[in-house]
Amino acid sequence: MRHEGVRRFSAMVAAGVLAITTMLLAPRPAAAADTPWLSVSEDRYASFSVPAAYIQANLGQVSQVMIVGNFGPSAALTEYGLTRRGDVWSGVLGPLKPGLYYYQVTADDTKSIKDPTNSAGVASKPLLSTFLVPGDSARLLADAPDEQGGKIETLTYRTKDQERSALVWTPPGYAAAKGGKPYPVLYLRSGADGSATDWLDLGRAKQILDNLSAGHAMEPMVVVISDGADGDKELNDLGKAVGDAYRVHRDREHQAIAGVSEGGSQALRAALPGPGRFAYAGSFSSPLTQLPAGVPGPGPGPGPKPGPDHGAKLVRLYTGNVTDPAYNATVALTKALDRARVKYEFDGVNPDAGGNWNAWQENLIDFLPRLFRKVGDHGPSAGHGPLKGEFTPPAPGTTPTPFVTKDGFVTFETTTDYKDAKHVTVWANIAPGGSWLRVPMSREGDRWRATVGPLEPWFYYYRWIVDTVGVKDASNPTKITSEPAWSSFFIPGERSRLLSDVPAGQGGKVESLTYQSTVANAERTALVWTPPGYDPNRAEAYPVLYLQHGSGQNYTDWTEMGRAKQILDHEYLDGDIVPMVVVMGNGNSSNFTKELLENIVPAARAAYHISSDPSQQALAGLSMGGGQAIGVLKAYPGRFAYVAAFSAGFGSGTGVDVAAINNGTKLFRVYVGDVTDFVYPSFMAGLTTMNTLGVHYEFDGVTPGPHGWDVWQKNLIDLAPRLFKR
């Protein structure tokens, strides 16, 4: 018997909100908001609790509240729906990977408000706030120890008859007095629609510079951070101002430039035509597709020719995966550079980030140690892959959705039915552990599209949310009987092998069993899985598992959503389970115990060669079905020698015959998702009750994931091989 204690929460971290939606509202004075709306546990779960009174006072009456932030695959911007519980909108998301996150609170798609309990903000976007989830992979994003960091100052200069400003980071030990050794300088540019302050608020540039400097992983340098709105003339004016105000080298060998998006294109235009002003250039997700003006192409005639010498010591390109808008541009640019035989380095495709600050933080961390020194490693970063040609999903309207690549990138597309919609998202189980996130779709003609990924091999289900209303993807032929708005798709791989179809003719059979329900006073149906080679005439009756669904579901869900047939087929063929019959009955009953014992069980025994011996009978269920299984265990201890409950609490200990349960039950095994499973508190309370009573049970710890099929599929995978072997 194994027990696990209740997870303890700590490390309260204030957080904020991101303004991305149509209507951005600064909070008006309203209800007090002293308690943080976000807390982050030590094991990286983010708990949101937004007072309903505050939302109503500032935004009016609303029907839904979302947290909009970079929580999706590849750090994509997604919407996480909160649930109204009493006087708060709440939800738990995670575990989150270490890193920097941003989010906003949005109601009914169009009304957004900043979290008033968070002081961490983003200067260029008044509603944006950030929070850092610590961890070893994000250690360079954390604040450096006191006295070990550099300083950030504001430099004001003039260009085009207007006054502008830039941010300047000077390294530890920098002294402004003249006569000392000059420093090399890096010009760090933002995108055309960004601000210099974004490099601090979202890029964590100061923390990265401080930590690399403290670790002696980069050369001492001055870093000038500016926006990328203007071109070369502004850059020249900025350079003159920096040279006048700071003790920096003015020669080309000690000048570097890098930037994100259009800022990356500026870096290439400044370095490639050379020999120009910069000896080092870094392009982070540049949309540039052709050689900059001034870079000659390959000469005429056959045979190898030397490429043009731009004179730079380093030109290094960076891109995210296919969700990065610059991915295809990078493919085109590298081809143009290769044709012209221009020297450059490529950091490889970042498999886990798109065109966003998560990727650009990593780009800066890779780029800085390469400046103003000799570097032996000129290849891609660890884990980065090659470009594989342009990413081109099928043309709109040419294929059913979703379109899934072998790398796990999924493109969703609506029909033209929603051409007049204002806001369309894909709601799917793509968050950590299988929680649900909404991915905003973009309008393309009369359709809406979105590409998300990479998704791990598994079974996924989704629906459209069109102007707050859930609808089915009509182009996807899959169906969920009990939840007709959902569709599904499958990504193959070793991780999802047990959820895949076995080769034709090798699996068991699923048949319908019709029976008369005296409880419902109606004819009802169950589904029955029989193992390969099932023999109704064999000498020994088959053991049987009665497997129940949850509330709002039906007898079809374990096959349509739970992948029970695929799981049982694989585990049988792998030799992991004994030959058994599995009966998936209709648990929607006013008296499930009576329905099971007087209707489902007798009907199954009449139709199949299954045992009536309690030692050869098992009962399991999820959520409501798990509670029903526990109810039968309490009322009829020993009737089923194997009992399991997925995401269900034990409930009250009143009247429980502990001795009968312990003596008559060979296995009582309980499962629950992590803290994102809303039954987690009641489940843990149930463990305490069973411990106090002395009920024998097994619990091997939480199954990572929410109150959903990702968890329950794993529970069945674990349970089935344990049955009828004791």
- Which one is predicted more confidently, 103 or 228? 103
> How far is the CA of 325 from the CAs of 286, 297, 406, in angstroms?
9, 26, 20
Instruction: Tell me the mean pLDDT in the region 240-246.
Output: 94
Give the mean model confidence (pLDDT) for residues 490-503.
Answer: 97
What is the average per-residue pLDDT within 332-348? 95
CB contact set of 694 (below 8 Å; sequence gap of 6+): 658, 662
- Each residue's pLDDT tens digit, 497-524: 999 999 999 999 999 999 999 999 999 9
DSSP state, 336? Answer: H
Where are the domains positioned within the chain? 23-134, 141-370, 403-430+446-491, 498-722
The model's confidence at residue 10, banded by pLDDT at 50, 70 and 90, is: very low
Residue 365 near residue 322, CB atoms below 8 Å: no
Span of 219-223, 230-234, 412-416 with lowest mean pLDDT:
230-234
Q: Is the pLDDT of residue 417 over 50?
A: yes
Mean pLDDT (the chain, rounded): 91
Give the pLDDT confidence score for residue 146 in this predicted structure: 83
pLDDT of 191 above 80: yes
What percent of the chain has pLDDT above 70? 92
445, pLDDT greater than 60: yes
Mean pLDDT, rounded, for 178-204: 91
pLDDT the model gives residue 423:
97
Residues 6+ apart with CB under 8 A from 622: 548, 549, 550, 562, 646, 647, 648, 712, 715
Q: Supply the pLDDT for residue 566.
A: 98
**The pLDDT value given to residue 306:** 53
Stretch 269-295: mean pLDDT = 90
Please report the pLDDT score of residue 13 as a whole number.
Answer: 31
Q: Output the pLDDT for position 184.
A: 97
What is the pLDDT, as a whole number, of residue 121?
87
CATH number of the structural domain 498-722: 3.40.50.1820
Average pLDDT in the 238-253 region?
Answer: 94
| Per-residue model confidence (pLDDT) at position 19 | 33
Over range 314-339, report the average pLDDT.
97
What is the mean predicted confidence (pLDDT) over 96-103?
Answer: 96
Q: What is the pLDDT of residues 686-720, one digit of tens each?
A: 999 999 999 999 999 999 999 999 999 999 999 99
The pLDDT-based confidence of 320 (bands split at 50, 70, 90) is: very high
Q: How confident is the model at residue 210 (pLDDT cuts 50, 70, 90)?
A: very high
- If one looks up domain 141-370 in CATH, what number appears? 3.40.50.1820
pLDDT higher than threshold 80 for residue 230: no
Q: pLDDT band for 18, please (50, 70, 90 cuts).
A: very low
Closest CA to 226 of 239, 211, 213: 239
Superfamily of the domain at 23-134 = Immunoglobulins (2.60.40.10)
Residue 492: asked if its preceding bond is cis (omega within 30°), the reply is no
Least confident range from 74-78, 311-315, 582-586: namely 311-315
344 burial (CB, 10 Å; 0-12 / 13-18 / 19+) is: buried
State the amino acid at position 353 in one-letter form.
A
Mean pLDDT confidence for 116-138: 92
- Tell me the average pLDDT across 11-31: 34
Q: Which CATH number applies to 403-430+446-491?
A: 2.60.40
403-430+446-491 matches 23-134 in CATH topology:
yes
Q: Is the pLDDT of residue 334 over 90?
A: yes
Q: How confident is the model over 331-356, as a mean pLDDT? A: 95
Per-residue model confidence (pLDDT) at position 309 = 67
Is residue 235 helix, strand or coil?
helix
pLDDT at 7 over 70: no
pLDDT-based confidence at residue 161 (cuts at 50, 70, 90): confident
- Check residues 249 and 2 and name the one with the higher pLDDT: 249
**Taken in order 56, 60, 64, 68, is the CA torsion positive or negative?**
negative
Mean pLDDT value of segment 95-112 = 96
Cis peptide bond N-terminal to 145, omega within 30: no
User: What confidence score (pLDDT) does residue 177 get?
Assistant: 56
Query: Residue 567 contacts by C-beta under 8 Å, 6 or more apart in sequence?
Result: 498, 499, 713, 716, 717, 720
For the residues of 447-472, what is the DSSP string, one character each? EEEEEE-PPPSEEEEEEEEETTEEE-
Residue 300: predicted pLDDT = 52
The pLDDT, as a whole number, for residue 176 is 65
Confidence grade of residue 310 (pLDDT, cut at 50, 70, 90): confident
Dihedral sign for Cα 380, 385, 386, 389, please.
Answer: negative
User: How far apart (Å, rounded) are the C-alpha atoms in residues 656 and 654?
Assistant: 6
Mean pLDDT of 589-613: 97
Checking if the pLDDT of 391 tops 60, the result is yes
**What's the Cα-to-Cα distance from 629 to each of 74, 545, 588, 660, rounded to whole Å?**
40, 12, 13, 16
pTM above 0.75, yes or no: yes
Question: Average pLDDT, stretch 91-109?
Answer: 96
